[in-house]
Structure 1
């Protein structure tokens, strides 16, 4: 029985039920020869029914159907007049509302309603885009967020330099109760766009300073001096550490590779991903190799007057420091489909991708040839220290 399929088992169950429902037939019981009682004929039963007063079917009677439609339109017009007194509409909207009320076809009314919903969705999306394009956070919120952005890029445990960094910054700001964070969804989306631009600006400044250290005779050539310059922009409570030296050496090694400006941070993250795939110890080993190569090329930190600290932050820790430290190691890369080829007729065309850059990098890396501060970007060191 267990080898039977579900359908076979169901058929057997129905057969058993049918057999149990039939009375037992015994061979010793004679069959009755009398015919079964005759069912009353249909006309006899039909004649007993009273059809007086029943409304004719409007779907089988053209005159009644027209009367019903006219009555329905009149009813909807009265309803529409009542609604107009309660809801004020623009002239164009009022005309569309009248058209909707007087439409007799249910299918057409449904289509009109659906089209109106879609138009409302389009208007909402356009409004959100306009809001995001012109959104600027308050001065207080700017002052709170910029140091978090610049600190994130110098954290020794940052996993990647792009990806969903803007959402990480928002999480840190909310966790540390940064004042004037928006609650409205549209404003939050607009703030995320603003954060992407600020992150791009901060990365631009970081890369620019490290690139300048490679020019002959530059005072920032020694990695200890360079790191001290970078960390000083965060405020007096931050200190350069050996772990940050390793990160700066990694970025400087990527700059030496001469990646295209709009591909730099994506290429750096590609290298980081390979290093992460080697495991924690392999990752540290790779960073150490780059650091030792940097010392050979640009000088030993011991030869400078700078001394690394054991902690990145002293006693006056900003309230956002620990949440930032805990979250930058969770940054996720945003994968973008790569370019592919497909044949169309006898021609083979490339389907160009968007450069393989994360959304946060698209606009920012295009600013490599211009001053990002023209878009409102500022150094963290140009602002007052955040209130503790």
Structure 2
């Protein structure tokens, strides 16, 4: 049962990458198994031992020396068939496959050189991927999306389950440039770490401003001034729904002055979960937040008396509305009071909700 229900509920109001050429220039590499070209009857070239092998190399566990390879003519059809066998066996790019097919069509030294160049180029591209570095543009986008996520009045929990993954999901859905593919596990982990860093920093920013507003001499006591101070790093504009949520956060702060810093957002999430559980409908939930907001105005001042303007919910940008929808899906991590909260996630450190739609909009 929420401790605020009696007062504000409805009833209370009326490694290095190996060179792709290694297999060409190092004749004594181990562990190179595989069949000989399909029309080869053994090694009958003039440089090897005559008749040493009389069949394909299927199951051969070591790579043969260069001077044992067949030097007689091999048809283009046979080479193409052998190329397909190799393509199926080794994980090579489609670009390299095309080059290998082209090489197999003409058994010439020119084609060998062409293939070597393509493989080198392909290896360079792979090396670039292996040394992926997050761009400054992507870091900026992460800041935008993460901050707006925390400011959403529909946010289910401020330190919720997989909140970083939810933020990354909405960035992918919005087709933010520079994000790694889902299969790139290490790169994705780097992005999640950056998201968690922004989460921690911006939660601290929000908490500091809310705490400062409680002082009788504070210049941001009015909810309009407080919200503007919280939004200042984001270059976004609030709606009335943002005021309602900030008023709720301030109520939690005023009622929890003895809560340690690293537990504040946990207590907020638990209170938010309790309020939602106690309300029987969206109408009652909306009335609860409205009652909190009205009490905040009586105590700290009406935002209409300030210079700050709000935007109507229907005028928010589409990407922000997408953030709001995703934020509503975040679930709280519920913990028993008195137990130490377990650390989870990659870097969601010290400080890390469904009402009406459309909560924040760009200026």
| TM-score bin (small chain) | 0.5 to 0.7
SS state at 1:217 partner: coil
Q: Which residue of the other structure, out of 123, 138, 143, is the alignment partner of 1:141?
A: 138
Q: Per-residue deviation at 1:327?
A: 0.8
Q: Deviations over 1:118-151 (max 9, x none)?
A: xxxxxxxxxxxxxxxx997321110111011111
2:299 match: 297
Q: TM-score, normalised by structure 2?
A: 0.55
Contact 1:250 1:287 in 2 (8 A): yes
Measure the CA separation in 1 of the matches of 2:314 and 2:308.
14
1:201 match: 201
Measure the CA separation in 1 of the matches of 2:273 and 2:347.
17
Contact 1:241 1:308 in 2 (8 A): yes
Measure the CA separation in 1 of the matches of 2:272 and 2:292.
12
SS state at 1:330 partner: coil
Q: Which residue of the other structure, out of 129, 151, 155, is the alignment partner of 1:154?
A: 151
Q: Per-residue deviation at 1:313?
A: 5.2
1:280 match: 282
Measure the CA separation in 2 of the matches of 1:287 and 1:293.
10
2:169 match: 171
Measure the CA separation in 2 of the matches of 1:312 and 1:360.
36
Q: Per-residue deviation at 1:273?
A: 0.4
Measure the CA separation in 1 of the matches of 2:303 and 2:150.
21
Measure the CA separation in 2 of the matches of 1:223 and 1:166.
28
Judged with a 3 Å threshold, the aligned counterparts in structure 2 of structure 1 residues 321 and 276 are, in CA distance, closer, same or farther, namely same
SS state at 2:313 partner: coil
Measure the CA separation in 2 of the matches of 1:305 and 1:186.
47
1:28 match: none
Contact 1:240 1:312 in 2 (8 A): no
SS state at 1:239 partner: strand
Contact 1:136 1:194 in 2 (8 A): no
Q: Per-residue deviation at 1:224?
A: 1.1
Q: Deviations over 1:274-329 (max 9, x none)?
A: 11111322322221222122122211223223333323855xx3x63232122111
SS state at 1:320 partner: helix
Measure the CA separation in 1 of the matches of 2:249 and 2:140.
27
Judged with a 3 Å threshold, the aligned counterparts in structure 2 of structure 1 residues 358 and 250 are, in CA distance, closer, same or farther, namely farther
Q: State how many pairs are aligned.
A: 222
1:365 match: 351
Contact 2:270 2:332 in 1 (8 A): no
2:330 match: 331
Q: Deviations over 1:180-199 (max 9, x none)?
A: 10120122123223212221
Q: Per-residue deviation at 1:249?
A: 0.5
After the TM superposition, which residues 234-383 of structure 1 pair with which residues of structure 2 at under 5 Å, given as runs?
234-235=234-235, 238-256=236-254, 257-258=256-257, 259-277=259-277, 278=279, 279-311=281-313, 317=317, 320-335=319-334, 338=336, 354-355=340-341, 359=345, 363-365=349-351
Measure the CA separation in 1 of the matches of 2:132 and 2:243.
36
Larger Cα-atom Rg: 1
Judged with a 3 Å threshold, the aligned counterparts in structure 2 of structure 1 residues 218 and 175 are, in CA distance, closer, same or farther, namely same
Contact 2:142 2:194 in 1 (8 A): no
Q: TM-score, normalised by structure 1?
A: 0.51
SS state at 1:365 partner: coil
Give me the CA root mean square deviation: 3.0
SS state at 2:156 partner: coil
Measure the CA separation in 2 of the matches of 1:202 and 1:287.
23
**5+ unaligned residues in a row in structure 1: which ranges?**
1-81, 87-133, 340-351, 367-385
1:212 match: 212
Contact 1:162 1:360 in 2 (8 A): no
Measure the CA separation in 2 of the matches of 1:151 and 1:321.
7
Q: Per-residue deviation at 1:354?
A: 4.1
After the TM superposition, which residues 89-104 of structure 1 pair with which residues of structure 2 at under 5 Å, given as runs?
none
After the TM superposition, which residues 53-72 of structure 1 pair with which residues of structure 2 at under 5 Å, given as runs?
none
Which structure dedicates a bigger proportion of its chain to helix? 1
Q: Deviations over 1:337-359 (max 9, x none)?
A: x58xxxxxxxxxxxx95425664
Measure the CA separation in 2 of the matches of 1:191 and 1:307.
34
Measure the CA separation in 2 of the matches of 1:327 and 1:216.
37
